[in-house]
């Protein structure tokens, strides 16, 4: 408990310091609870996610950093069995950006996109991903 708190404070300071270094990631800590974080991640350019801003809610367990932070449904090994306490919230965000740029068809969260990729339909995958990006991660028009 104490350790996770100290660690999160350290990460908070690190985030403040590196704001300029990582313009695609915006990590905000809840005003009253250091165990609740919100990340805003820009979709990487030259991917179907470009132009989208993805909001992630991190819920940090008390055993952090021995246990990974909990977030929405992301099939990312480092958020599960490949987690290492040396990772930080910031590096998790970077890994998510990397996952957006290099999708993992063998471990898809969305089976459809996984199937499209595995069958070699890159265009199909991209247009579907673009559609979801527009639906979920872009400001509504009108």
Partner 1 sequence: MVTDSITNASIPMATSNPKDFAKKKRANRSAKLKQCKLDARREQWLSQVKNKGCKEEADGLVHARDASEEPRREKREVSTHHYSDSDSPSNSPTSPTSSVLGSNSSGTNFTGSSRGSSSSSSSGGSCSGSLAGEDDDGCLDDWEAVADALVGTDDKQQQSNPISDPPLVQLGSHPELGHRKGSGVEISRPNLDRVEKVQRATPNSRAWKPDDAFRPESLPNLSKQHSLPMNSGRQYGCGGGVWVCKKVISAPSSCPICCEDLDLTDSSFLPCSCGFRLCLFCHKRILEDDGRCPGCRKQYEYEPVKGEASLDGGSVTFRLARSCSMITRS
What does the binding site for partner 1 look like in residue numbers (CB under 8 A)? 2-3, 5-7, 9-10, 12-13, 16-21, 29, 31-32, 34, 63, 65-66, 82, 84-86
Give the pairing of strands 53-59 and 25-29. Answer: unpaired
Closer CB to partner 1, residue 45 or residue 84? 84
Q: Cβ 91 to partner 1, closest distance in Å?
A: 12
Nearest approach, Cβ of 128 to partner 1 (angstroms)?
33
Tell me whether the omega of the peptide bond preceding residue 65 falls within 30 degrees of 0, making it cis. Answer: yes
Distance in Å, CB of 16 to partner 1, minimum: 6
Q: Which is nearer to partner 1, 18 or 112 (CB)?
A: 18
Contacts of 89 (CB under 8 A, 6+ apart): 11, 15, 27, 37, 39, 58, 60, 69
Closer to partner 1 by Cβ: residue 7 or 130: 7
Residues 6+ apart with CB under 8 A from 86: 65
Known catalytic membership, residue 75: yes
The H-or-E segment that residue 28 falls in is: strand 25-29
Active site (catalytic) residues: 75
């Amino acid at each position: 408990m104490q350790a996770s708190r100290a660690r999160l404070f350290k990460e908070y300071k690190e985030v403040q310091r590196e704001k300029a270094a990582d313009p695609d990631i915006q990590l905000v800590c809840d005003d009253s609870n250091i165990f609740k974080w919100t990340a805003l991640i820009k979709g990487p350019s030259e991917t179907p996610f470009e132009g989208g801003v993805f909001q992630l809610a991190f819920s940090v367990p008390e055993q952090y950093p021995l246990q990974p932070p909990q977030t929405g449904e992301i099939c990312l090994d480092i958020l599960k069995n490949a987690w290492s306490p040396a990772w930080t919230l910031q590096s998790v965000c970077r890994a998510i950006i990397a996952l957006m740029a290099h999708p993992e068809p063998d471990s898809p969260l969305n089976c459809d996109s996984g199937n499209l990729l595995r069958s070699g339909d890159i265009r199909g995958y991209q247009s579907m991903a673009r559609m979801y990006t527009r639906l979920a991660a872009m400001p509504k028009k009108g």
